[in-house]
Chain A
Amino acid sequence: MSAIAVEPSKRGIAGALPRAAARAVLLVAGLALLWGVWEGYRWLGIRGHWTWPFTVNDTNMPHISKIWHAFGQPLQPDGPPLRHYLWHWAIFTAKEALAGFALGAAIGFFLAVALSQSRVLRRGFLPYIVVSQTVPILAIAPMVVVGLGTKGVTPWVSVAVIAAYLTFFPVAINTLRGLLSPDPEALELMRSYAAGRWKILWRLRVPTSLPYVFSALKISATASVIGAIIGETPASLQGGLGYAIVNFNQYYSIQPANLWATIIVCALLGIVFFLAIVFLERLVLKRAPENIA
């Protein structure tokens, strides 16, 4: 019998090393390109006195080296350097974002499971879920913080709730789509086994939905960081990156590099969240290559 199976792609140590090296080279090249574009635009803009879309000068576009330098400068005379503060603020915001992400992802997932069970529920509730995301988060954030505050909830938890508000939506919508995506024949197969609603849900619908869930989680992971940063602002919550942004904004004309440094840390935090999900997906999802979103 000529049983021909496609071999699982070979990824031995021999193959992994050059792969990692190639990635590192690509990363460095990408960063170098970004640096070149920034400095090039800056150089051209200052020489050409560009005023559109913004005036290019030392304040609006400080040298990359200056931003890098700012990480090491003390924030107060004889105090620890900025990077020390940024680290602690980032941890603080990460805690809010992580709690919000977990809460939002759980709510989104179970909401989708509930909606997948009934067309009437979908017709009734889906519009409101969509509407929930058209409400500006900046308008809701103070209400959440004040409202929960009067109930004695710690401010950082309120911020996590705001992050959850941004997280649950993509998870709910994508998971629902995934739960409804099994082939008719896959459903007929379960029916032929006389499998009930719950067994069909857990053994067919949920596994089928996982690639969808993970694409949503990737979107939500970065959204939860944004949600946490935005949530800190109206909460006047000190100790996180959101507060640092508000604070450094006021000193922007004197020390623009501090704000830029903070922005870079925010971006890095988002990337860390995103990569964590990618890692988890690789660990959990075993699918045909074409079925991974």
Chain B
Amino acid sequence: MKAVSIKGVSKQFKAGVTALQGIDLDVEPGEFVSLIGPSGCGKSTLLRIIGDLTKPTAGTVEVNGKPAERARRDHEYGIVFQDSVLYDWRTVAKNISLPLELLHWSRSKRNARIKEMLELVELTGFESHHPWQLSGGMQQRVSIARALSFSPSLLLMDEPFGALDEMTRERLNAELLGIWQETGSTVVFVTHSIPEAVFLSTRVVVMSARPGRVAGLIDVDLPQPRTSATREEPHFFELVTQVREQLAVAGAPLGETQEPALVEDQA
């Protein structure tokens, strides 16, 4: 059974923009897959389709063998956005506890899990802080803890470190890999940073823009566990170059980093 199975997915917005066309992609359980591509290639849209936060106009998505909507209702995945989306009025512990409350976990079970999660993201001691008292990197770690608190088998991440500075980003990359290995979950990760994609992933999906398609798949065979030394290995640079060339073929305007907002017409 595939962790994620995407077949012939297309997405057209009401304004007539084709965001995605004919996407086929399978993700095996335990894989760390990055979606990378130029602005407007629909990588965030594809992530939202996997999470059933938006519907494809054609094609099917299955998560753990279930249709995407069923999978969402069964809490098969946790999601992390670029913004941490923490609730201001809740403490760190209470934020992590939110999905657990929605799943009707008992208080003692919740507290035990909160403690575990705080240890996992190395925030023990901050449980009674409010989000605005934390740095951006810490907020994002809380967000990851919340997404993993109910042990979903799949973690969806939409440029989670995009708003952080380079040093924090690299540190959190390393931490995320540690968490991924510890939990054994499958990760689908959207980014527009090539080194980040290569460092984290077991496989990189290069996408092209307008319409968004899969332009290439690159297996990242860097050995695990990866450390900061990995970033200095020649093979790391070879893979980075490989991804960059694929992106160039896919028509990526290099240096462009801002993704234009693809606003779905809800009316």
B-binding residues in A (CB < 8 A):
1, 3-8, 183, 185-186, 188-189, 191-195, 199, 203-204, 207, 210, 285-289, 291
| Contact among A183, A194, A287 with B89 in the assembled complex (CB-CB below 8 Å) | A287
| Count of CB-CB pairs between chains A and B under 8 Å | 74
Contacts of B72 in A (CB 8 A): 191-192, 194
Pairwise interchain contact A5-B89, C-beta atoms closer than 8 A: no
A175 smallest CB distance to B (angstroms): 16
Pairwise interchain contact A189-B89, C-beta atoms closer than 8 A: no
| Contact among B74, B81, B85, B126 with A5 in the assembled complex (CB-CB below 8 Å) | B126
Pairwise interchain contact A204-B131, C-beta atoms closer than 8 A: no
A199 smallest CB distance to B (angstroms): 6
Pairwise interchain contact A203-B130, C-beta atoms closer than 8 A: no
**With contacts A3-B138, A192-B72, A193-B102 known, is A287 near B53, CB below 8 A?**
no
A245 smallest CB distance to B (angstroms): 42
A200 smallest CB distance to B (angstroms): 10
Residue B176 CB within 8 A of the other chain: no
A189–B156 Cα gap in the complex (Å)?
Answer: 11
A286–B73 Cα gap in the complex (Å)?
Answer: 31
**With contacts A3-B123, A5-B138, A287-B88 known, is A193 near B130, CB below 8 A?**
no
A-binding residues in B (CB < 8 A):
48, 51, 53, 72-75, 77-79, 81, 83, 85, 87-89, 98-99, 101-103, 122-123, 126, 129-135, 138, 171
Known: A3-B138, A183-B83. 9 other contacts (CB 8 A): A5-B126, A6-B134, A185-B85, A194-B72, A194-B75, A203-B98, A287-B89, A287-B132, A291-B88
**With contacts A3-B138, A194-B75 known, is A286 near B130, CB below 8 A?**
yes
A156–B117 Cα gap in the complex (Å)?
Answer: 57
Contacts of B48 in A (CB 8 A): 188
**In the complex, which residue of chain B has the Cβ closest to the Cβ of A285?**
B89
A199–B98 Cα gap in the complex (Å)?
Answer: 11
Contacts of A6 in B (CB 8 A): 132-135
Question: Interface centre among B88, B130, B131, by most A CB within 10 Å?
Answer: B88
A24–B7 Cα gap in the complex (Å)?
Answer: 71
